[in-house]
Structures are given as C-alpha cells and as structure tokens.
Amino acid sequence: MEKINVEIAIGISFILGLILPLIGLGGVFSLFVMGFVATFLTKEEITSAKIGAIATGIFCIIFFFYGFLTPPTLPYVLPNPLTLGIFVALSGVFNLILSLISSLIIYCAFGLLGGYIAMKFFIQERGKKKKSKIPSQTSRRTLKRA
C-alpha cells in the first residue's frame, strides 16, 4: 500500500474515529485506533508518533466545540448564574477551560500511544545502523601519504 500525506491520513483517521463508535467500539479504543491509523498511513520520511497525537488533539477540539454548542436536555429550568453572583459564572468558565485542557491532554496521550505502537511494530526504522563489513577486532589499514 502506498503511503499518503499527513493531512489525508488525519482525515481518514477522523472518518474512522466517527465510524467506530457507531459500531460499538468507541471510547479509548477509538482514540488509540485513530492515532495508529494516522501514523501508519503517512509517508515513512515524515512519519512520527506525534502525528497520531495531532490527529486525536484536533478531533478533541472539534468534539469539544460540538459538545459545547449542543445543549443537553434538562428536565427543569436552571437559575441564571448572574442572579446567583458573578463568581458562579466565572467558576463555570474556569471549569470549561480546565476541561478543555485536560481532555486535550488525555486525547493526545492515547493518540501518541497508538502512533508509538504503529512506529514500533509496523514501520521500519529509517536510521538503522548498517553493519560494518570490517570486523571490529582487526585494526584498520591506513594509507600514508608523503
């Protein structure tokens, strides 16, 4: 299989990340698979485990804003935070920012783990040391120039 660019690999991992929960394999496993696929599909010259972390990190930000913009269904009406005090509203904003940061760290960690597994077991190392044809016990001969 021919390897592809980073952007297309991340796009394919997004599609896979959206399909896996529909068939019942969501959660941490889908994050791991997203990082694995994004790293596995990239070209060997530019591949890294960070690509899996980037793919799941972008997915986290998109998922966060989707969840932020879609309100939950509640059985009752909540009171206005401004009537309770300004500090209640500020604590909600603080919790929102803290949840974005913590979820971004968790998503990137699982994507990095999936990318690391892809790098370790399925992608050949590009900087392997070549074995020397000269045994190490013998001394090398040098030419003396006059």
Residue keyed to tokens 């529909």:
22
16, 38 Cβ separation under 8 angstroms: no
Q: What is the pTM of this model?
A: 0.74
Show Cβ contacts of residue 17 under 8 Å, excluding neighbours closer than 6 positions.
30, 31, 33, 34, 56, 59
Among residues 95, 33, 99, which one has the least CA distance to residue 64?
99
| Mean pLDDT (whole number) for 81-105 | 85
Summarised one tens digit per residue, pLDDT across range 28-80 is: 999 999 999 999 999 888 888 899 999 999 999 999 999 888 888 877 887 77
Q: Which two tokens stand for residue 31?
A: 């994050």
% the chain with pLDDT above 90: 42
How does residue 146 score in pLDDT terms, banded at 50, 70 and 90? low
Dihedral sign of CA atoms 35, 36, 41, 47 in order = positive
